[in-house]
Copies of this chain bind each other. A is one copy, B any other.
Amino acid sequence: MRTYASVPFSQVKINGPFWSERLETVLTKTIPSQYAQLEKHNMLRSLKLPQPVPPLTIPRKPDGFTTEIFWDSDIGKWIEAASYALSHRRDPVVEAQIEAITDDLEKAQAPDGYLNCWYQEREPENRWTNLRDNHELYNAGHLLEGAVAYFHATGKDRLLVVMERYMDHVASVFGRGPGQKRGYCGHQEVELALVKAWQATGKRKFLDLATYFIDERGAQPHYFDIEAQARGQKPSDYGQGTYEYSQSHIPVREQTKVVGHAVRAMYMYTAMADLAAEHGDAALKRACEVLWRDVTETRMYVTGGFGPSASNEGFTLDYDLPNDTAYAETCASVAMVFWAARMLNLDLDGQYADMLELALYNNSLAGLSRDGTQYFYDNKLESDGTHRRWDWHPCPCCTMNVARLVASIGGYVFGLAEREVAIHLYGGASATLPVAGGQVTLTETSNYPWDGAIRVAVEPEGTGGFTLSLRIPAWCKGATLAVNGASVPVKPERGYARITRAWAKGDVIDLNLPMQAERSWANPEVKVDVGRVALRRGPLVYCLEQIDQTLPLSRLRLPRTATLSARFAPDLLGGISLIEAEGLGLVDSPALYSDTPPTETPAKLTAVPYYIWCNRGANAMQVWVRE
């Protein structure tokens, strides 16, 4: 069923200016500073299972929960991000750090393979008693992803062996066999990690366990009910109120609405798409497609953000997309990139790549500061100036998520079939790929996302004829294409211009994707956006930051008749394209209420890409501008 394969980022060289800068920042600033934060906040110490047990670093909330319970996952995610860095360039310091962590984990691991530093240190008697709330398998999943990444980067399998032992234990505890618990994690994640382990090792047991977890989810009698009763609690006392929170309210194949905690949802949909591909499971693929349509048609921010509400860190109602209280967690957008990439491998359909690009360039990238050491957890679309970046967080999940995404950005560029190479993302990348019986080196050169002039050099070596499929983004109007200088009509099939020929060395494709500064309007069911307009250019959504305006944001509007123009500002924020327009502003300050309207005067509006906002100090910001 999977028709395309991703090309691992380690085989893709990033050389365009936009991603080179982000990648370099993550490798040299973000990953080392995150290690320092793990150290500073006692998180690395937590692996050592010290006696006597130290007091909590993060006090329990009134309901007894502390995010310290999933520190293992943060360490796993850091290992993953750091390993991706090692794939770019080996670094003995980082390797020694990961080896030291591996030492601790090896020592901590119980004789039966169990490995969870929280439980082993603080409540060993309670392991596997609260999958609903306590992230036990979520921790395992992230450590497993870290182990796979480290193995890929260095060939060293010590951590992977530890995790395989742990997964063997998990597989012995959970399943449908006699004496086994029919459980699964309240926070999905281990499912997609297990698929990665299967793909890395070829060991079927990983895939089987992932399949069990997805298939069992939402079955009746409900595992979380049984488990709560075993703890002596009433299932109806569940703090989240509904199992929609963890997408376990009904079996996954029956789910048609995206609900609950957004990151849990996106990780689950990713694993569902993985398993649809691995098993050729049409029902699972169909469920993914239905959920995809639901989220993209009714429950998504224009910035590619997901989950409006802080109360459940997730989804609420169709078209409920408040701007100033938007949660739109960085992790949820990063996870959407994962899901979209899987969908794109199931079907070469530009809608998936468009979404991947939107979530990547906007809500996800916004999560990381320009200097690579500050973060957003929630990504509001409007701020009065009080929303600001932070250095660290009691729940630092987003920090390592954006780091691992940027560090592996090359993995989202190409899609590979037997006789076809698809280019999903532009921005300057090259790779040598196996196709049609030989190898082809593709070198894509552009200043994307600032400019849509793209050149692809094709250098085949022993290949037969094959198809090169170039993505034509849905946002683009008037794309043009030339092969070796000869114009080719652009007739995209489901978002891709597919050129099939016997490629020869020196062949050059010139693709031009005109980028207009454009307006975007929301469906009027999104009440807060009625009468407002968003700005975008190419893959980037823009916003107004107060610092660039001559009047307070709330006094500005952009009439529908105003011309938008784009201008590259080389000295601003490392070089970005601005969108500028002659808007109108309210300058006077009349009586509190008056029977004459406040007067408007022309006022220049300057918009910057959303992903780069709040890098010049906290200041007010708006994505949706009054018309």
List A residues at the B interface (Cβ < 8 Å). Answer: 296-298, 300, 302, 319, 475, 518-527, 530-531, 533-534, 554-555, 557, 560, 586, 588-598, 626
Contact = CB atoms under 8 A, between A and B. Distances in A.
Nearest to A597: B521
A302 B591 CA distance: 12
A319 B593 CA distance: 11
Contact of A523 (B300, B475, B591): B591
Nearest to A302: B593
Contact of A593 (B522, B593, B595, B597): B522
Contacts of A525: 589
B555 A520 contact: no
A521 B591 CA distance: 9
22 contacts: A518-B595, A519-B595, A520-B593, A520-B595, A521-B590, A521-B593, A521-B595, A521-B597, A522-B593, A523-B590, A523-B591, A523-B592, A523-B593, A523-B594, A523-B598, A524-B554, A524-B589, A526-B592, A530-B554, A530-B626, A534-B593, A560-B597
A592 B519 CA distance: 14
A475 B526 CA distance: 36
Nearest to A522: B593
A520 B591 CA distance: 11
A280 to B, nearest CB: 31
Contacts of A557: 531
Contacts of A555: 524, 530
A600 to B, nearest CB: 10
Contacts of A596: 521
A357 B302 CA distance: 45
A301 to B, nearest CB: 9
A589 B626 contact: no
Contacts of A519: 595, 597
Nearest to A591: B523
A184 B36 CA distance: 55
Contacts of A586: 524, 530
Contacts of A298: 592
A430 to B, nearest CB: 33
Contact of A527 (B296, B531, B554): B554
A592 B306 CA distance: 13
Given A554-B530, A626-B531, A520 B594 contact: yes
A444 to B, nearest CB: 26
Nearest to A298: B592
A302 B298 CA distance: 35
A593 B594 CA distance: 36
A555 B590 CA distance: 28
A596 B524 CA distance: 12
Contact of A592 (B300, B554, B594, B595): B300
Given A519-B597, A521-B595, 14 more contacts: A298-B592, A300-B592, A302-B593, A521-B593, A521-B594, A521-B598, A523-B590, A523-B592, A523-B594, A524-B554, A524-B555, A530-B626, A531-B531, A531-B557
Contact of A598 (B297, B300, B518, B524): B524
Contacts of A588: 524
Contacts of A297: 591-592
A300 to B, nearest CB: 6
Nearest to A528: B554
Contacts of A522: 592-593
A226 B288 CA distance: 65
Contacts of A521: 590, 593-598
Nearest to A297: B592
Contacts of A518: 595
Nearest to A527: B554
A1 to B, nearest CB: 28
A530 B589 CA distance: 12
Most buried by B among A475, A521, A590: A521
A499 B569 CA distance: 69
Most buried by B among A319, A555, A560, A595: A595
Nearest to A586: B524
Most buried by B among A520, A554, A598: A554
Contacts of A524: 554-555, 586, 588-589, 598
A518 B297 CA distance: 40
Contacts of A302: 593
Contacts of A526: 592
Contacts of A520: 593-595
A626 B597 CA distance: 13
A475 B595 CA distance: 9
Given A555-B524, A560-B597, A296 B592 contact: yes
Nearest to A474: B595
A232 to B, nearest CB: 25
A65 to B, nearest CB: 19
A626 B527 CA distance: 11
A317 to B, nearest CB: 11
Question: When A and B form their complex, which 5 residue pairs have the shortest distance between CB atoms, in order from nearest?
Answer: A527-B554, A524-B586, A521-B597, A524-B555, A520-B593
A304 B594 CA distance: 14
A298 B592 CA distance: 6
Contacts of A594: 520-521, 523
